[in-house]
Chain A
Amino acid sequence: MNKDVFMKKLAAGIKKLPKEEQKEILQDFAEHFSVGVAEGKTEGEVAAALGAPNQVAKELVATYHLEKVNHSSNAGDVFRAVWAVIGLGFFNLVIVLGPFIALVSLIASGWVIGGSFILSPLVVLVNVVLYPETLLLFDVFVSIALTGLGILIIIGMYYVTRYMFKAFMKYLHFNVKMVKGGLNNE
């Protein structure tokens, strides 16, 4: 593979990164090639030592998103980081996506339970409007108690969500390190 082919494949792999980022990366690799050639190597030898360009691109993309997620709590950034890590190989589809889906559904169900507890007096209210003769004080008190419980659950979920988010970011970082290790086995 010569320089042009390598650079084209690399550029294609990182085309979703910001323009500035792409420019810097391509400059770094162009410099790497020109130094290598100046030292008497062929473009093919330099390219071979660098490794597969699409794999290098995937690592760069994953590194970029993970670095961004470090400074951001934006859900979109997290999802992009997850996808970038998954892009590093099928192996990770199972290890990353599995726990991610499990975690997200657990957290979502916590919020739904908390929310529905809080809204439970509404159900009593609707019931009273539809069937006024069935009003029971017991229902009213239970639903008020549930509202209190729901508020506690929601407060708890807020902290759980924040904690889980951080823990999952750590897990992603660990994963990228592991995948990077595995890449050079070839």
Chain B
Amino acid sequence: MNVQFKKGALELCVLALLDKQDHYGYELANKISKRIAISEGSVYPLLRRLAKEEYFTTYLQESKEGPSRKYYCLTDKGRDYLHQLIHEWVQFTSGVNKLLQESDHIE
């Protein structure tokens, strides 16, 4: 699959995961890279950017094994942005799917 698609969707994936519950960095990178082939390192620049744009806040929490972990928590601003992205994504993918159906490439 074209890398451009994956990268564009990365932001959406991060926000969508955080919408359900707070995650720490490793979890986010791991969950996303299981589904789409990205290098996990590129999640961190994105996390820093989104945090600076106030789409989420961070807090430290102790864990049973190992050192404390930095959790990311979606803000209302981030949630609004996520909904806007989802809307755009659904419109885009359904448009592409319709075009593929019309040209008989998929059932």
- The reply to whether the CB of A137 lies closer than 8 angstroms to some CB of chain B is no
- On whether the beta carbons of B3 and A182 are closer than 8 Å, the reply is yes
Known contacts A28-B70, A34-B66, A184-B7: A55-B41 contact under CB 8 Å: yes
Could you tell me the distance in whole angstroms from the C-beta of B82 to the nearest C-beta in chain A? 18
Q: Report if A35-B4 is in contact (Cβ < 8 Å); known contacts: A51-B41, A67-B52.
A: no
Is A29 among interface residues, defined by CB-CB distance under 8 A?
yes
Which A-chain residue is minimally distant from B38 (CB atoms)? A184
Interface string of B50-80 (1 = CB under 8 A from A): 0011000000000001110110000000000
Contact A31 B52 (CB under 8 A): no
The answer to the question of B97 belonging to the interface, with a C-beta cut-off of 8 Å to chain A, is no
Q: Are A51 and B65 neighbours in the complex by a CB distance under 8 Å?
A: no
- Interface SS, A side: helix
Closest B residue to A37 by CB, please name it.
B66
In the complex, are the beta carbons of B70 and A31 less than 8 A apart?
yes
Cβ A67 vs Cβ B24 within 8 A: no
* Nearest opposing residue in chain B for A6, CB measure: B41
Query: Which segment, of B14-22, B25-33, B88-96, B99-107, faces chain A?
Result: B25-33
Please tell me if the beta carbons of A56 and B44 are within 8 angstroms of each other in the complex.
yes
Say yes or no for B84: interface residue by CB 8 A criterion: no
What is the size category of the interface that chain B forms with chain A? 20 to 34
| Assembled-state Cα–Cα distance A23/B38 (Å) | 25
Q: Do B67 and A34 touch (CB < 8 A)?
A: yes
B39 and A183 contact, CB distance less than 8 A: yes
Given the known interface contacts A49-B39, A183-B42, the answer about A177 and B25 at a Cβ–Cβ threshold of 8 Å is: no
B39 touches A184 (CB 8 A): yes
Interface size, A (range): 20 to 34
Given the known interface contacts A25-B44, A28-B44, the answer about A181 and B70 at a Cβ–Cβ threshold of 8 Å is: no
A34, A56, A67, A184: the one contacting B3 at CB < 8 Å is A184
B26 engages A32 (CB within 8 Å) = yes
Chain A positions within 8 Å of B65 at CB level? 38
How far apart sit A49 and B53, CA to CA, in the bound complex (Å)?
A: 27
Across-interface contacts of A37 in B (CB, < 8 A): 66
Contacts of A60 in B (CB 8 A): 44-45, 48
Q: Give the A-binding residues of B (Cβ under 8 A).
A: 3-4, 6-8, 24-27, 29, 33, 37-42, 44-49, 52-53, 65-67, 69-70
16 interchain pairs (CB within 8 A)? A24-B48, A29-B44, A35-B66, A38-B65, A50-B29, A50-B39, A50-B40, A59-B45, A62-B45, A67-B52, A177-B7, A180-B7, A181-B8, A183-B39, A184-B3, A185-B3
